[in-house]
């Protein structure tokens, strides 16, 4: 790819003017390219990938911390893990057109299984070295998170409040008891359920639902909200 064409494609991808073009060229150079510099040292994006992985973790953690002020540590950790997992990064890399930036002679079939996702992390590492954390965060938030990640759907995939409250009680060494029972209302054929949660023998939350499981989830949700508000 000619320098001019590469530069223009890169500007379009980044949304800003890069300063050190060599960093970005290296970001799209996987180990399988087998390229060396004039000193005979192998050139590849592995170091940039390592750096970008750490920067991306910090950016996503920062974003989720502000986006979900009531989210507990377990909730945010699980959500972050879903965003930065390899399968998701491979998908995001394709969405922002990273495959077009890699030499077509280097195909996923004869190199790393996660060639594109690794290149995305390396790109973030390059942005960090070229323009700093603020530019890296702006790129990730505007070009990746807000544009290609449906946080609502990710959260819906893990509405397991019961697991989260149990996880919290284990961490805080608190005894938890669920007490659930059926309720029958006059004129209503289907029974409903009510669940109470006790922490160290003190009632902390109540939930209702069409099933025992739903009632327990609602009770756990109420307790988690109470914990975050205190």
Q: Does 171 share its domain with 150? A: no
End of a domain among 156, 179, 204? 156
**CATH number for the domain harbouring residue 215:** 3.30.160.20
- Does one domain contain both 68 and 170? no
Tell me the three-class secondary structure of 184-214, residue by residue: CCCCCCCCEEEEEEEECCEEEEEEEECCHHH
The DSSP secondary-structure symbol of 38 reads: T
Q: How confident is the model at residue 158 (pLDDT cuts 50, 70, 90)?
A: low
End-to-end CA distance of the chain: 57
Distance between CA atoms of residues 221 and 162, nearest Å: 8
Locus of tokens 């990064």? 89
Catalytic site residue from 49, 121, 130, 216: 121
Boundary of a domain, candidates 109, 129, 156: 156
Q: Is the pTM of this model over 0.75?
A: no
Same domain? For 109 and 204 the reply is no
* C-beta of residue 191 within 8 angstroms of C-beta of residue 184: yes
Give the chain's mean pLDDT.
Answer: 86
**Domain final residue pick, 156, 173, 207:** 156
Told to judge if 121 belongs to the known catalytic residues of this protein, a careful annotator would answer: yes
Residues 124, 18 share a domain: yes
Task: Dump pLDDT digits (tens) for 10-60.
Answer: 999 999 999 999 999 999 998 776 666 666 577 889 999 999 999 999 999
Q: Do 66 and 102 sit in the same domain of this protein?
A: yes
The pLDDT tens digits of the residues spanning 71-104 come to 778 778 888 998 999 999 999 999 999 999 987 7
Among residues 21, 26, 20, which one has the least CA distance to residue 41?
Answer: 26
CA distance 14 to 8: 10
Dig out the tokens for 4 from the structure.
């001019």
One-character DSSP codes across 9-36: HHHHHHSS--S-HHHHHHHT--GGG-EE
Tally of domains in the chain: 2
Q: What three-state secondary structure class fits 111?
A: coil
pLDDT tier for residue 110 given thresholds of 50, 70 and 90: very low
Domain that holds residue 206: 161-229
Active-site annotation holder among 9, 46, 49, 53: 53
Q: Name the nearest CA neighbour of 112 among 48, 170, 44, 20.
A: 44
């Amino acid at each position: 790819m000619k320098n001019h064409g590469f530069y223009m494609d890169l500007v379009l991808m980044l949304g800003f003017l890069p300063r050190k073009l060599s960093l970005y060229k290296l970001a799209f150079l996987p180990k399988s390219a087998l390229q060396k510099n004039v000193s005979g040292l192998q050139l590849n994006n592995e170091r940039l990938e390592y750096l970008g992985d750490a920067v991306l973790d910090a950016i996503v953690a920062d974003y989720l911390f502000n986006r979900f002020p009531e989210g507990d540590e377990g909730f945010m950790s699980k959500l972050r893990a879903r965003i930065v997992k390899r399968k998701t990064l491979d998908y995001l890399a394709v969405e922002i057109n990273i495959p077009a930036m890699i030499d077509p002679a280097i195909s996923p079939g004869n190199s790393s299984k996660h060639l594109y996702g690794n290149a995305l992390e390396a790109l973030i590492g390059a942005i960090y070295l070229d323009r700093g954390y603020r530019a890296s965060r702006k790129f990730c938030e505007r070009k990746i998170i807000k544009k290609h990640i449906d946080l609502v759907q990710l959260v819906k995939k893990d509405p397991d409040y019961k697991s989260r409250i149990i996880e919290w009680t284990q961490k805080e060494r608190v005894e938890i008891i669920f007490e659930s029972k059926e309720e029958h209302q006059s004129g209503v054929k289907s029974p409903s359920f009510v669940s109470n949660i006790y922490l160290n023998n003190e009632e902390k939350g109540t939930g209702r639902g069409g099933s025992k499981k739903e009632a327990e989830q609602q009770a756990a949700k109420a307790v988690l909200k109470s914990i975050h508000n205190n």
